[in-house]
Each structure stands twice: as C-alpha cells, then as structure tokens.
Chains A and B, each alone.
Chain A
Amino acid sequence: MKKIINNPGNVVEEAIEGYMYAYKDSLTKVNNVNGIIRKDLKDKVAIIIGGGSGHEPLFLGFVGEGLADGVAIGNVFAAPTPNTIQDVAKSVDQGKGVLFIYGNYAGDVLNFDMATELLEFEEIQTQTVLVADDVASAPEERKGDRRGIAGDVVVFKIAGAASEKGWSLQEVVRVTQKAADQTFSIGVATAPGSIPGEEEPPFVLGDDEIEIGMGIHGEPGMKRTKLMEADDLTDELLDILLKESKIQTGDEVTVYVNGLGSTTLLELLIVNRRVAQILNKKGIKIYDMDVNSYCTTQEMGGFSITFLKLDDELKDLYDAPADSPYYKKTQKIGEEVK
C-alpha cells in the first residue's frame, strides 16, 4: 500500500499538527494529549466525542459551534486513552456537565468508563450516549451489541444543537439518546482499508466481491456477494435498512450517504439518487440528504446509508446552525427534497 506518511508511529501526532496549522483560529490543542477543543467555549453542557484515528474527518473534524466542544483522539483504530479523555473533559467543562458521545465498541467503552471514574474524583459530572446505528452488526434483540458507524455524525449534530440552546445535561442526554435510538445505518465494503505502516490489509475481498454489512474495521458482515450495479445494491441495502429500522410510509427521515474512503463522490451521488427514488416511491418523506465521506477507514471502498427518523424536536435541532472544519449548516432546509 502506497501511503504518504513518515514514521508510522507518528501518524496521529503529525496529522493533528497539520490539522492545527489549518484551524488554529477556531480550535486549541489540549496540552500533552491527543485532544482538541473549541476556542469559543460557551457556558453550557460540554459535548465530547472521540474514537480511534484513521476515520477522518471523524472524529476531529466535528469540533465547533453546534457540534462537539472537544474531541479525544486515539491511535489508529484504537480508542483514546482515559487520560486523554480526562484532560479534554477538564478543558471544556463549564460546571454544567459533560456528555460523552462515541461509537459502541468495547475499547471505547472501557476507556471512556475509566475516564468517567477519574473525573468523578474531580467532581466533573459526566453522562454517556453510545452510537449503535449499524443494523448489520447485531439483530434487534441484541441492539446493545450494535456498532457505531456513520450515524455518529448525526447524533453529534443533534447533541451539539441541544447543548447550544442551553439545555440541562439531563435534557441534552434525553434528546441525544432519542436521536441515537432513531439512527440506523447499513454499509457495504468493496475493498479493504489499511493500517498505516502495515503491509497486509486487515481483510481480503476478491476483485468482484463485496460484503454487505461489513463493519468499518473489517468486522464481518451479513453476506459476501458479487459486485452488482448501483441501483441493485442500493435496493438490497435499503431492504435491510427499512426492515430493521421499521421506517415506513409517512415517516420522515434525513439521509446520509457516507463514503468509506475510496468510493468516489460520483458513485455516492448515484447511490443517493436511488435512495431518493425508493423513499419517494415508498412515501417516506425526505427532510434532507447529505452525501459525503464523513466516516472513512483510510482507502476502504464502499459506503453506508444512514437514516435519522425525525420528529419536530429533532428537526429543529437538525436545522440549527453548525460550524466545524468538516461540517457546516447555515441555512434551514424546510422543504422536502424532491
């Protein structure tokens, strides 16, 4: 794998340095740990996100107004350490409590939970909402085992908007949990990503093979099949997603079509076209659509489709302004996308 890196052991620190050169006006690096916070911290509940590196722009790209106040960054595909999370939390806490939001992975849970224990000694109040949107990763009866993928972004968005309104920690947690419960994703992999510095890819797919439901770290999916045309593949993914999410005629959703790294915007737009066609046909209202590569795994090929099922409260928060290096929302999109 051709990678534009220096020493593989330094990729995270060097990437953060590069990021800080670009966004030093709005962001501050937390001393001694791989953490970044907003410069314009407000007197409100603090939102902290985090996870392993290698998924950029997740997680560091979503620190800003109406989004996260701080991010704890781990090594490549590894959860951030407890002391990183602790130092980021101390840097953003305004005495109104801290909400941790991250994808549901064993490593993240262990490290954030240890950070929570450490923060209790410093009398910083914390709450946690896990993102577990990947419907392919466990059946509904084991929903608590589901992993977090691109749905992270929409949950961050809702939480950031709620905290920006000055809501209490309890209220921010309530609506963030609601958003997490109403966020559903399904993915497909066409090619592996790489771990910087490692020769071998973490998994192998044949030239004409794809894997439906594969996780963003190559966790096994629901089925391996032959490559198919965009519309057929999108139809198959939507069948699973609609069945698992129980989203039906008359419901209203916002849609994220997320590229995993090497799948091009051209392809993602073709997928999005089909998603819109099918939802329109089924009478599911489309509030907004976002086609982007927010949650990637290096040069992994494939994409995911995420639905957030909306109600009036979530719509209002979704529409609220947001401004971070990799996510901006400036104007309200009030009408259904045709």
Chain B
Amino acid sequence: MSIETVNSVNTRQLKDMFLYVGDQVVACKPLLTKIDSAIGDGDHGIGMSVGFTKADENLKANEFTSINDVFKTIGMSMISSMGGASGIIFGTMFVGGIKGLETKVSLDLPLLAGIFNKALEAIKQRGKADLGDKTMIDALQPAVEALEKSAAANESLVEGLRKAEIAALQGVENTKQYIANFGRAKSLGERAIGHQDAGATTVLIIFKSMKEWLEGQENG
C-alpha cells in the first residue's frame, strides 16, 4: 500500500493497529497516572495498562475472521480484567458499537464512525454521563462527530482519524474548564478546574495511535 491513501483495513490489519494502540496506551501509563492523581485517585493509567495488556494477550493468541471479533475481544478483555469504572466504560467503547452489527471483514471510515457512534450512545446509557461532565465522553463525542463528518465528505480512513484526533485533543482541552460530575473527582468541585480528565486523555491517545499506525502503513 506504499504511497496510497489507506481507505480501509482488513481484520488482520485491524488487529495489528490495535496492538499498536495498546502499546501506546501502556507506554502512557506514567502520564495518565500523573493526570489522574491531580484530581482522581491516580489509578486510571494502571487500569488502562491492565486492560490493554490483557487485550494484547488475547489479540496475539488468536486469529480473527471478522472485525467484529477484534472489537469484541478488546472490549471483553477490558471488562473482564480491569474492574473499576474504566473497565466497563472503555470496554463498552469497543463492544458497544458492534452489538447487532452484521459480520464485517473490513473496516472503512463510515463503518468506524458508525461503530464508535453506537459505542458512544452505549457508554452514555451505562455511565449516565454527557458532554461537559469531565469524562472520556468529552473527547469521544467530538471525535465521533469528526469521524462522521469526514465520512460524509467521503474522506479517507486516515484523514478521518486525523480529524478525530484533533477533535479529541480539543475535547481534552475543554475538560480543563469543567468541574467533574462523575467519579472520584466529583467531590473536588471548582478545584477540578484547570486539570484535564484522564479518561478523555486516553481516548485521545487511542485515536492518535490509530492514526499513527495508519500513517505508518502509508509511508511504509
């Protein structure tokens, strides 16, 4: 695929992409711990590291015949290993979007936008949080909207992810202005202002890493 724009990935590539994403999130454990310690209880980085390490293990141990299975394996790895709010919420980010989805063997931008949009709704329903509550939704929702807009404009997968990353980054920045309405930062009130949300930061790392992996394919 050397200099071609990547418009879709197959099951094998999707697995490799999320192995890369997992490595990046695990590598960010100290950063996430630091961010979470400022206003939470400091365990977000540890939890995400546990979850993606388990997902890596399960991805590497299996061959997959559909992208549905790749998403499901990642999500269930998180739900069954992490515990805490993050286990359910980030697990739902991966399993919530494939529920009821017919079996797919390749993933393009409209499908990715659709999966994450459905996941976003599932997360909101489960966690009862919405935009502006200083949670991961503050990064995920703008990222999903960017994916959808980019898909509607017939842009490439990598272009969509570039825009999702920018939107997620803006979302992370926005969390600095919010007081927290969920989780352990809730009791901080105004004192949470000025600090970014750790979960939103993880969402940013996920989109940024997906984009990086795809760019690596284009350049490689």
Q: Is A166 an interface residue (CB 8 A)?
A: no
Tell me if B89 and A137 are in contact (CB < 8 A).
no
Q: Which residues of B contact A81 (CB under 8 A)?
A: 79-83, 87
* A 165-215 contacts with B by CB, 8 A: 195, 198, 200, 202-203, 215
Binds A, one of B17-25, B62-70, B184-192, B204-212: B184-192
Q: Which residues of A contact B84 (CB under 8 A)?
A: 52, 74-75, 77-79, 107, 111
Q: Count contacts on A: residues with CB < 8 A to the other chain.
A: 33
Tell me if B88 and A198 are in contact (CB < 8 A).
no
Bound-state CA distance A259–B212 (Å) is: 49
Tell me if A78 and B47 are in contact (CB < 8 A).
yes
CB of A256, distance to nearest CB on chain B (Å):
22
Tell me if A75 and B50 are in contact (CB < 8 A).
yes
Binds B, one of A217-225, A241-249, A313-321, A326-334: A217-225
Bound-state CA distance A138–B181 (Å) is: 12
Q: Which residues of B contact A220 (CB under 8 A)?
A: 187-188, 191
Q: Is B41 an interface residue (CB 8 A)?
A: yes
Q: Is B86 an interface residue (CB 8 A)?
A: yes
Q: Is B132 an interface residue (CB 8 A)?
A: no
Nearest opposing residue in chain A for B126, CB measure: A110
Tell me if B191 and A195 are in contact (CB < 8 A).
no
Q: Which residues of A contact B184 (CB under 8 A)?
A: 105-106, 215, 217, 219
Interface of B (DSSP majority class): helix
Q: Which residues of A contact B188 (CB under 8 A)?
A: 220
Residue interface mask B38-69, A partner, CB < 8 A = 1: 00011100110010000000000000000000
* A 120-155 contacts with B by CB, 8 A: 137-138, 145
Tell me if A78 and B33 are in contact (CB < 8 A).
no
Q: Which of B33, B80, B127, B191 contacts A110 (CB 8 A)?
A: B127
Tell me if B83 and A78 are in contact (CB < 8 A).
yes
> Would A195 and B46 be within 8 Å (CB), given that A75-B83, A83-B80 are in contact?
yes
Q: Which residues of B contact A219 (CB under 8 A)?
A: 41, 184, 187
Q: Which residues of B contact A107 (CB under 8 A)?
A: 83-88
Bound-state CA distance A107–B41 (Å) is: 12
Tell me if A111 and B87 are in contact (CB < 8 A).
yes
Q: Is B194 an interface residue (CB 8 A)?
A: no
Q: Which residues of B contact A83 (CB under 8 A)?
A: 79-80
Tell me if A79 and B83 are in contact (CB < 8 A).
yes
Bound-state CA distance A215–B39 (Å) is: 13
Which residues of A line the B interface, CB within 8 A?
A: 9, 52, 74-84, 105-107, 110-111, 113-114, 137-138, 145, 195, 198, 200, 202-203, 215, 217-220
Question: Could you pull out 29 A-B pairs where Cβ atoms are within 8 angstroms?
Answer: A75-B46, A75-B47, A75-B50, A75-B82, A75-B83, A76-B46, A78-B43, A78-B47, A78-B84, A78-B86, A79-B85, A81-B79, A81-B80, A107-B85, A110-B126, A110-B127, A111-B83, A111-B88, A145-B186, A198-B42, A198-B46, A200-B37, A200-B42, A202-B37, A202-B41, A202-B42, A215-B184, A217-B41, A220-B191
Which residues of B line the A interface, CB within 8 A?
A: 33, 37, 41-43, 46-47, 50, 79-89, 126-127, 182-184, 186-188, 191
Q: Which 3 A-B pairs have the closest CB atoms?
A: A78-B84, A107-B85, A107-B84
